[in-house]
Amino acid sequence: MKKILDIPERESNLQSPISNLQSPISNVLAGRQFQALATVPLLAQRGAFVVAMYDTILHRQALVAQLRQQVAPQPLFEFTVTPLRPDVHEYLVQMTPQQQQERAVVCIYDIECVWPDAARYLDRQRDVLSAYPHTLVLWIERYTRGPLAQAAPNFFSRHSGVFDLCALTEAPRIEIP
Amino acid sequence: MPAETLEDAYNALDPRRPITPEQVDRLFVTRPSSPVRKIEAQLELSDSRLKLLFVGHRGSGKSSEMAYLSTLLEANFLSVPVPLYDIFKSPAVSHTEVIFAMTLRLLVLATGEAVVARGVLNNVWEHFLEESYITLKRLIFGDAHIEADRQQTMTLKLNVLAAELETKIGTESFTRSQVKEKFEGRVVDLLEQIDRVTHLLEEKIGRNLILIVEDLDKFDPADTRRLFLDHARTLTAPHPSIIYSFPVAMRYDNDFKEIEQGFDDVHMLPNVALKHRDGLPDDTGWETMVRICQRRVAPGLFAEGITDRAIALSGGHVKSFIQLMQQAVLNAVVDEAEIVQLSNLKEAQRAMRDDYIVLLRREQIRLLRLLRDDPDKDLVDITPEKQALLSNGSLLEYADERGPWADVNPVVLELLDRDWA
């Protein structure tokens, strides 16, 4: 098969910085859902909204570290939502004007901590956020998926993928006929 | 040119971006049941300036249809978008602020290069600009002093001031509160200013203005309902024609009848019906969806039957179709495949179905079963429970000669027969 993008080989995913971690997170890193997530920024020339579900902070850190490697040379920025900064749009503050106009991955954390205000901001700001060529990765806990779809329906309806990267509990898989 | 590689296809299938007026020739597909041609005829034929409501579900293609309308009307109308949330960036907006946003947009347009470059400014225009500048400065900044500049400088000054105000009311709470405070009791002044600038602009550009007010779905629904219920007269008072893009949830509100009366007409954009309400195939609708896909992506990028399956799964909801296809393309890229295969689409279908698994409650599943089995599928008694299903996309709305009807989203169908005990 023709190789469309230069996606790093899966074997290399198991190297530093998570080489000291044992399964189950190493299985997630080598898995299809993570590969799909890491492929989005490589494809999306004008950015995208995606949702990544995780189960522990440690696992999330490992996933983000590996994501950073796989999307390079695109920079990866991180933004944590807090009660003082509930508006996701503020991630732009940490970027230079040039960075704002260039492709990048932006990981958004802890939307659950300012619930539902942060989700509502996200919903209202969807057009503003779409204007930048950034792949926004909204990291949520699995139980947040339904409430997010309800609290931020317009943002959610524009997503380019929800990726299940939970290592400790497996989502029930039901085959489609 | 439709995308011929999977990477280009991924970008051509972006669910975040409606079609812009510049893309209409290349991407837009006219669809059955769209009210846009009727709106065009109404606006072109009417002697009065119409105030319309344009209602559609999330992702049904309202913004793309408005872009198409602006190209249809191009010869006789200039469309002026008024994106309320982009201007105010707040959870609610008052009637004064809506009118103020219109004023600013018109002043920016009137003092912008495209209009100013059309010829020498006359005395009436000069006087108007100066007066507008002084009024804004005095009311908001308490400063009415201006130098005796040449008229061109005044044009530039007003342009900068209006643009600056538009930025500041979204970012500075002080400016916003000043606007609220100073203009709350002076809506009549703002309306007068809109009328004057509209007359001057229309005379200069030789076309009528039409304001497209968007973003009302981004505000708190209760505030938006109050805005329309209590201030319909103000919202319909400005001289130009206006189209308000209206949140669909409010269409089923008990107060809608009252709201509706304040406007000249209400137009609904239904989804593209793939079958008639009796279950027989609707070939026109199906062909519309095929063309939507072919405008974006070359058919050779999909294995046989993929497009048809994705169309069927979308239920004629355009954004769901785009989303499904984009995710199928992503899956194909991860597989390092050359074209999208059935397994890639099934994976995308599973992901979309999972969005509904976490969204739907048991009683909603039960109601969806009843609606699936209803032979009439009429949308007459819209209970709050049905509204919730329409709002979350598990129930899709269509229209035919008999009126609005609805059917269960095909992605959700397989969940209905599952044992949830």
Nearest Cα to B179, choosing from B104, B107, B231?
B104
Mean pLDDT of A97-123: 96
Taking the Cβ of residue A84 and every Cβ of chain B, the question of whether any pair is shorter than 8 Å is answered with no
How much is the pLDDT for A23? 72
For residues B243 and B66, the answer to whether their CB atoms sit within 8 Å is: yes
| Confidence (pTM) | 0.89
Chain B CA closest to residue A164: B351
Nearest Cα to A121, choosing from B218, B392, B246?
B218
pLDDT in tens, B48-98: 999 999 998 888 899 999 999 999 999 999 999 998 888 888 878 889 989
Tokens 């204007």 belong to A131
Nearest chain A Cα distance for residue B316, angstroms: 15
What CA–CA distances, in Å, run from B14 to A100, B317, B394, B406? 20, 15, 21, 26
* Res B296 pLDDT > 80: yes
The shortest CB-CB distance from A1 to any of B218, B337, B346 is to B337
Instruction: Please spell the DSSP secondary structure of B11-49, one letter per residue.
Output: HHT-TT-PPPGGGHHHH----TT--HHHHHHHHHH-SSP
* Res A174 pLDDT > 60: no
Mean pLDDT estimate for chain B: 89
- Specify the amino acid at residue B335: D
Determine which of A77-81, B152-156, B287-291 has the lowest per-residue pLDDT on average.
Answer: B152-156
How much is the pLDDT for A2? 46
pLDDT in tens, A113-155: 999 999 999 998 898 899 999 999 999 999 999 999 999 999 9
How much is the pLDDT for B185? 77
Quick check: B333 and A43 CB within 8 A?
yes
CB-based burial, A131-151: b 16+ in 10 Å, e otherwise: ebbbbbbbbbeeebbbbbbeb
In the three-class reduction of DSSP (H, G, I as helix; E, B as strand; rest coil), residue B294 is classed as helix
How much is the pLDDT for A16? 46
* Res A4 pLDDT > 60: no
* Res A1 pLDDT > 50: no
Domain ranges of chain A: 46-164
How much is the pLDDT for B144? 55
For residues B339 and B298, the answer to whether their CB atoms sit within 8 Å is: no
pLDDT in tens, B121-131: 566 667 777 77
The shortest CB-CB distance from B338 to any of A1, A39, A120 is to A1
Under 8 Å CB-to-CB from B47, ≥6 apart: which residues? Answer: none
Mean pLDDT of A12-18: 45
Instruction: Please spell the DSSP secondary structure of B158-201, one letter per residue.
Output: HHHHHHHHHHHHHH-HHHHHHHHHHHTT-HHHHHHHHHHHHHHH
Distance CA B392, CA B220 (A): 17
For residues B320 and B327, the answer to whether their CB atoms sit within 8 Å is: no
Distance CA B325, CA B297 (A): 10
Distance CA A174, CA B182 (A): 60
What CA–CA distances, in Å, run from B20 to A134, B30, B71, B207, B390? 20, 14, 10, 21, 26
Under 8 Å CB-to-CB from B79, ≥6 apart: which residues? Answer: B21, B66, B69, B70, B73, B210, B212
Mean pLDDT of B312-318: 97
Degrees to nearest 5, angle at CA B214 with B213 and B220: 115
Distance CA B204, CA B78 (A): 12
Mutation target vs B (from A1, A4, A170; most B CBs, 10 A cutoff): A4
* Side-chain half-sphere CA neighbours of B218 within 13 A: 22
Residues in chain B with CB shorter than 8 Å from the CB of A162 are: 351, 354-355
How much is the pLDDT for B335? 97
For residues B54 and A164, the answer to whether their CB atoms sit within 8 Å is: no
State the pLDDT confidence band at B373, using cuts at 50, 70 and 90. very high
Mean pLDDT of B356-370: 93
Torsion of CA B2, B7, B11, B12, to 10 degrees: 20
How much is the pLDDT for A12? 42
CATH class of A46-164: alpha beta
* Res A18 pLDDT > 80: no
Share of residues in chain B with pLDDT > 90 (%)? 61
| Phi, psi (degrees; rounded to nearest 5) at B173 | -65, -30
Bridge-based pairing of strands A104-109 and B208-214 is unpaired
pLDDT in tens, B251-269: 887 888 899 999 999 999 9
The winner for highest mean pLDDT among A34-38, A120-124, B32-36 is: A34-38
Domain ranges of chain B: 1-21+272-421, 34-269
Top pLDDT among A39 and B181 is at: A39
Bridge-based pairing of strands A104-109 and A134-141 is parallel
For residues B112 and B155, the answer to whether their CB atoms sit within 8 Å is: no
* Res B218 pLDDT > 70: yes
* Res B353 pLDDT > 50: yes
* Res B220 pLDDT > 90: no
Nearest chain A Cα distance for residue B128, angstroms: 33
Nearest chain B Cα distance for residue A50, angstroms: 11
How much is the pLDDT for A3? 52
* Res A14 pLDDT > 70: no
State the pLDDT confidence band at A15, using cuts at 50, 70 and 90. very low
Distance CA B84, CA B237 (A): 17
How much is the pLDDT for B16? 94
Quick check: A159 and B323 CB within 8 A?
yes
Quick one: tokens of B336? 């390092």
Sheet containing A104-109: which strands, arranged edge to edge? A76-80, A104-109, A134-141, A48-54, A162-164
State the pLDDT confidence band at B172, using cuts at 50, 70 and 90. confident
For residues B173 and B215, the answer to whether their CB atoms sit within 8 Å is: no
Nearest chain B Cα distance for residue A23, angstroms: 22
Under 8 Å CB-to-CB from A62, ≥6 apart: which residues? Answer: A17, A18, A21, A25, A29
Residues in chain A with CB shorter than 8 Å from the CB of B14 are: 44, 46, 48, 160
* Res A107 pLDDT > 80: yes
For residues B221 and B89, the answer to whether their CB atoms sit within 8 Å is: no
In the three-class reduction of DSSP (H, G, I as helix; E, B as strand; rest coil), residue B305 is classed as coil
Quick check: A39 and B58 CB within 8 A?
no
For residues A140 and A52, the answer to whether their CB atoms sit within 8 Å is: yes
Question: Cα-atom radius of gyration of chain B, to the nearest Å?
Answer: 24
State the pLDDT confidence band at A13, using cuts at 50, 70 and 90. very low
